[in-house]
Amino acid sequence: MFEWNGRKVLVTGAYGFLAAHLIEGLLRQGAQVVGIVRDCPADSYLQYQYLDTQVTLLRGDIVDLEFCRRALNEEEIEVVFHLAAQAIVGTANRSPLSTFESNIRATYMLLEACREIRVDGGALQSVVVASSDKAYGDQEVLPYREDAPMQGLHPYDVSKSCADLITRTYANTYKLPAAVTRCANLYGPGDLNFSRIVPATVRDVLQGTRPVIRSDGSPQRDYLYVEDAVEGYLALAEAVIEGKAVGKAYNLGTGVPVTVLQLVEDIIRAARSELTAEVQNTAGGEIKHQYLDPTRAREELGWVARTPRDEGLKQCLQWYSEYLSDQNE
């Protein structure tokens, strides 16, 4: 059994939704966690759960190579989880340059610092970089397998395709112990970005407001519960340390797609509400259907998504109910 206790672990983008849950999982296993943050949000799961008081937070921007070097060296980091990114598709469409800076430049700067650490005999043993199912772009063949080409066309998709390819370049050219995750859409307690469909719908339903669907409701997506994603990240980091997954990408998803409309209706049903969705059909610039084949992760990492969607949505409704109640006090 792999031992995380006492391991020095760096998590970039520590205030992010997945990053905060990953930090929570690492702390449970006794890891010594260092988080990198650039901006401090008004609210986040990391703060709400008081996780920020249990880790070392370094404030800086990983587009700065010297900052990356100092963080890795001074904290004697053994494992890196690179999750920092501009993660909103609509923002990427409006502001492509800042998205490319955050998602591409930041990735190669951090990887270059990691490469230098390895050359100098540092403690680094594993680097896991967050790509995305969006890195595949729009494919004719579904579900997406890891050998499908990276063919993103829109700014966010392209930024993840580039970060994905750059990571595998460092692994294959410079023997950096690095690998890539390509996650399905994540959901779960603590996602406070209410432009995303699950937290927005849960909030609307709890407040008695009709939930809004920006598309026509037909796009299919794979929705992965955040705690399952955390288990996937840890399993991949362990495999990299053992030399089993270096330079490879792994799909993390359920393999079971659902339409946007069905997801919203599932949330309404779980909340025992009589509301109906408002389908606006105004969204553009997004991929129509997108879901993953997680076979490689199951066979090579021993990972599977364990949380049924109805159970995951139940956990969301419970958490957001408590959160919104606290906000109104």
**Catalytic (active-site) positions:** 156
Helical packing angle, 309-327 and 197-206, nearest 10°: 60
Q: Report the C-alpha gap between 100 and 103 in whole angstroms.
A: 5
| 162 neighbors 92 (Cβ within 8 angstroms) | no
- Integer angstrom CA distances of residue 28 from 31, 82, 168, 230, 316: 8, 20, 30, 12, 21
Q: What are phi and psi of 58, to 5 degrees?
A: -105, 125
CA dihedral 185, 191, 197, 199 (to 10 degrees): 140
| 267 neighbors 201 (Cβ within 8 angstroms) | yes
* Helices and strands: H and E segment counts in the chain: 12, 14
| 306 neighbors 188 (Cβ within 8 angstroms) | no
Residue for token digits 């494919």? 139
Q: Report the C-alpha gap between 125 and 132 in whole angstroms.
A: 23
Tell me the sheet residues that pair with 249.
180
| 57 neighbors 14 (Cβ within 8 angstroms) | yes
Residue for token digits 């993103």? 152
